[in-house]
């Protein structure tokens, strides 16, 4: 692990019922670095995040996370969950649970705790809906609250599992810009999983691309190349740039599908 690495994954192997899901995955994410974890549905993104969180034990390999200044190591934003609109929790309450949600009994927060919650609400742009019930917020607003909840203890590493799923284009752009700013502001390493890389390419420092149980990592222009991804997939793929978007197309797809994808860039962000 390098001196600046907040997260180091080395030689990680995970199998379920004898079926490999991850094989010899290794990469690092530095403090203050914004890293995208890219792969199709079923490629092992959530499995990798669970291994980093310590929720499952790999067959081999190592995950190392440097502790934050206050001892908090990981902040986590899970995949989109359904929140009851009548749940009697305000946005402010959800963020505060990031400080005391693991304690027994009725929480007694100090002025410093209240100031930290207020700071995080301001940092994610959630002050205007801080007193509203979290279940009555839009998807983008809920994501801001969940990010504040995950960051309120100043973790060294922030993991986000498909946080852009089901968001509209404007909300997606706002959340990506917010995460870029927060990672730099708090020197927090961010690892965000997604199946669509295009909203992230302009702002990420590094990419970890999962396919065929394996991974390749590096800067986006080093990884998103025909020869690199062809080696990763184990068969030829084409990396095409069309209308400002990156398209990854398997060479064995029928020509009519390839032509349709090229004509319709809205549907070309999915990896094969």
pLDDT tens for each residue of 190-211: 999 999 999 999 999 999 999 9
Is 232 inside a domain boundary? yes
- pLDDT for res 266: 36
Q: Are 160 and 135 within one domain?
A: no
Q: Is residue 101 part of a domain?
A: yes
pLDDT of 73: 83
Mean residue pLDDT of the chain comes to: 88
Question: What is the number of residues in the chain?
Answer: 272
Q: Among residues of the chain, what percentage have pLDDT more than 70?
A: 86
- Same structural domain, 190 and 99: no
The predicted pLDDT at position 57 comes to: 92
178 in a structural domain: no
Residues 72 and 132: their CA atoms lie apart, in Å, by: 28
Pair (56, 189) in one structural domain: yes
| Coil, strand or helix at 44 | coil
Q: Average pLDDT of 248-257? A: 64
Both 5 and 60 in one domain: the answer is yes
* Domain count of the fold of the chain: 3
Is residue 79 situated within a structural domain? no
Q: Are residues 67 and 161 in the same domain?
A: yes
**Given a cut of 90, is residue 7 above it in pLDDT?**
yes
Domain that holds residue 244: 225-272
**39 and 62 part of one domain:** yes
- Segment 112-123 shows an average pLDDT of 95
Any domain includes 80: no
pLDDT (mean) for 226-251: 90
DSSP 28: E
Q: Pull the structure tokens for residue 83.
A: 């929140």
- Claim to verify: residue 121 and residue 235 sit in the same structural domain: no
In a domain? residue 2: yes
| Domain assignment of residue 61, yes or no | yes
pLDDT at 80: 74
User: How large a percentage of the chain has pLDDT more than 90?
Assistant: 73
Instruction: State residue 268's pLDDT score.
Output: 35
Q: Are residues 120 and 104 in the same domain?
A: yes
Same domain, 44 and 101: no
Does residue 6 share a domain with residue 18? yes
What pLDDT shows up at residue 71? 52
pTM for the model: 0.87
pLDDT band at residue 269 under the 50/70/90 scheme: very low
pLDDT digit string (tens) for 14-38? 999 889 999 999 999 999 999 999 9
Task: Give yes or no for residue 267 having a pLDDT over 50.
Answer: no
How confident is the model over 40-74, as pLDDT tens digits?
A: 989 999 999 999 999 999 999 999 998 755 556 89
**39, 52: one domain:** yes
Tell me whether residue 27 is in a domain. yes
Task: Using the CB atoms, write b or e for 212-233: b if 16+ within 10 Å.
Answer: ebbbbbeebeebbeeebbbebb
Together in a domain, 159 and 30? yes
The model's pLDDT over 155-189, given as tens digits with 9 standing for 90+, comes to 999 999 999 998 999 999 999 999 999 999 999 99
DSSP code string of 88-155: --BHHHHHHHHHHTTSSSS----HHHHHHHHHHHHHTT-GGGTTSBGGGS-HHHHHHHHHHHHHTT--
């Amino acid at each position: 692990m390098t001196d600046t690495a907040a997260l180091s994954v080395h030689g990680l192997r995970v199998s379920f019922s004898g079926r490999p899901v991850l094989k010899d995955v290794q990469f690092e994410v530095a403090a203050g670095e914004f890293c995208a974890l890219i792969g199709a549905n079923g490629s092992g993104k959530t499995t990798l995040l669970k291994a980093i969180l310590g929720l499952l034990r790999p067959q081999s390999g190592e995950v190392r996370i440097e502790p934050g200044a206050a001892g908090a190591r990981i902040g986590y934003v899970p995949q989109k969950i359904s929140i009851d609109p009548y749940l009697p929790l305000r946005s402010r309450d959800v963020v505060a649970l990031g400080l005391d949600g693991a304690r027994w009994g009725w929480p007694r927060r100090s002025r410093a705790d209240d100031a930290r919650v207020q700071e995080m609400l301001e940092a994610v742009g959630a002050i205007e809906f801080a007193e509203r019930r979290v279940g009555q917020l839009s998807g983008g607003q809920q994501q801001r609250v969940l990010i504040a909840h995950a960051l309120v203890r100043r973790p060294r590493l922030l993991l986000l599992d498909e946080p852009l799923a089901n968001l509209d284009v404007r909300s997606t752009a706002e959340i990506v810009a917010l995460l870029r700013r927060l990672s730099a502001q708090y020197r927090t390493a961010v690892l965000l999983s997604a199946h669509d890389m295009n909203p992230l390419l302009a702002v990420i420092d590094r990419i970890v691309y999962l396919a065929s149980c394996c991974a390749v990592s590096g800067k986006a222009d080093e990884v998103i190349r025909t020869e690199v991804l062809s080696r990763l997939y184990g068969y030829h793929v084409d990396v095409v740039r069309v209308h400002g978007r990156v398209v990854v197309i398997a060479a064995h797809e029928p020509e009519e599908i390839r032509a349709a994808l090229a004509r319709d860039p809205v549907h070309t962000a999915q990896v094969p």
